Structure 1
């Protein structure tokens, strides 16, 4: 458990710089940032390219800051070897060189960003926010299929997770499960009026227990957010239970967490190990015994719903009048060759790094060109397959638009920041759902990605006179 927590939240950083004073200065800024943001950094140093490569054999560094001037090995070669050993590391070039060819060579070798010396602290801290967010996303992507509950019980392959970075995300979690329990209670109330019996009462009790669990998780998360801690909630299901796990609580007073858990008497099944809590909530199966779909959807039909135990106790009875939508099962699609899929994953990882920089106020000409380049690479890999051709075409068109409007992209980067981050997230969700987690259809994300690509492109093509008359809120009225 401790290993999982450390891997997920602690960041290991390697500084490679020939100049001792430069290493000290960079370490000091990293430590100040970690202190101010309550993050945990473990920092390593070396002035030696060979040693940096060897150190990467023993540690998976989350960030590597490498200067152009290092000992014993050329910096581009060291970058290439470190990248081979750790494809998920953020490698950042930090240098005062004015030679664009040297900088480009290191970036082509696997570095993902370039910071000029002398380092501007405000800009550096802004970029660290983006680096740590991206690293967290990569780590969570790797761990998404691991078991998280402290009971060690096997669960379904599908896992729901909420990374509580702000109150709005917590509100989303609350509303989703609150509405679910309210709908279940409405159903059981209808069942009670029809005298279905004791098994229906069990369902109502399970609903109450779920509501209490959600309330406890919510209260713990509020405590975390109040002290600028960002917890992570995992929801896993098995045939008999739902497991709610919240982790990242090491900075919260354990007595406060126990008080929240113990003030709800029904919450007697949980495990708490200081930084992580798992609450076990039994689930009551509801079996849909008979559904008649009307020819006219506007007309309701009688629907018969019972628990498994009620089947053996009573005959089928009408308990509600409602229309039930047919359930669409998610499925994983395997139409893409593994080599093409890996190319898309690698290019998308680098694209997301750049998209996070948009809006920072420091996007450079070459970085915009790289955004266009990776969009084009992803589009070409996806265009081979008819299933992903619509997305590929939209990415190719956006790449061409960006290439033709690089300076406009830079000028409007502050307005484009949110759209670019959302666009990158949508592409990541498409990749994850279609090829790994499952989606209702092979074209599930097409409309979203295509419309977002067109929106970003249209913002670049609007002429100056027209753009002055457009209010940002109007963009959502298309």
Structure 2
């Protein structure tokens, strides 16, 4: 059902539009006599389409359009006015209106335009599935991508300048992420690496990908990111470093208006602390037996890792990965730990990619030690959250666990940054 708001100080004008809309299916209408009423309605109700008069008492359509764009950016606003001059149209479009219709209303044109608006709204509400997406997190991104070709210092400056000049993303700590990508890029250029940076997005998130991290070691990258952005969401796969940034909308009273997915991500980044007791209380009863199975999986995994140390072959490690996958599958059911589950899945893929030649190196002993330490941390995490329920914040160990995953993968990196070298940040 498309929610339509008709805003006009003239009763007859509102009635005319309402009668025209009756010929269309799946539309529900509400009305406001001035801009202030319209703003209040948009604060309390999800409005898909707004027909906005310009000249109104108390608050005109221009001011109302600006405010509604801030508090409800997904609302499509169509200006309606008897003024047919270029200046009035430009003012409304600059204020945030998507289209401009003049009065008196041409009924046929109005119906055809409204059908188009509804089609756009329905397409916006459909789940995006872009199979050409580059980022490793999701295929639910728009069919567009910004690519920066990083060839020299000037390319890096252009990348930085783009985000200074074009305010197209409203992300938490965007400048911090751009700064850190800039720093990594400077290092890569100094190391004679030419690469690309891709930016994809959807309604909730922005994904920034450095597509070749060159000789930068994963452990070093991890340490730098956690130093500058402790709660960063990122992954490293196939030499590509990908950041996941949350898009938010903020209004004057500093209240955050976010959708359900955004709320989940916010909780992962420690803005909202959830105690273990509260988390278990809100977890579906059907999932609890699967959570209980984690202890047995940990025991089997511990045994498999030790067996692999005694016989370090690809086949033995693959058997351990199968058990590790069972652990991941349970975590994937717990939406609150989506990022941890993703990191573990990446670690499993990395372990499964190791060939017998690498497994004959002297790094195997260190690999097993790190895996057993990681498993011990997982066991402690599970016990404090699901058994004892003592954790005041279920994400208290997230940063350490995610760091351990990257540290394990970094064990087989061939080159590290030389001692004394550092990335340059503003």
Place the TM-score, normalised by the shorter chain, in its bin. Answer: 0.3 to 0.5
- Using CA pairs below 8 Å that are at least 6 residues apart, which structure has the higher relative contact order? 2
Q: With the length of structure 1 as denominator, give the TM-score of the two structures.
A: 0.30
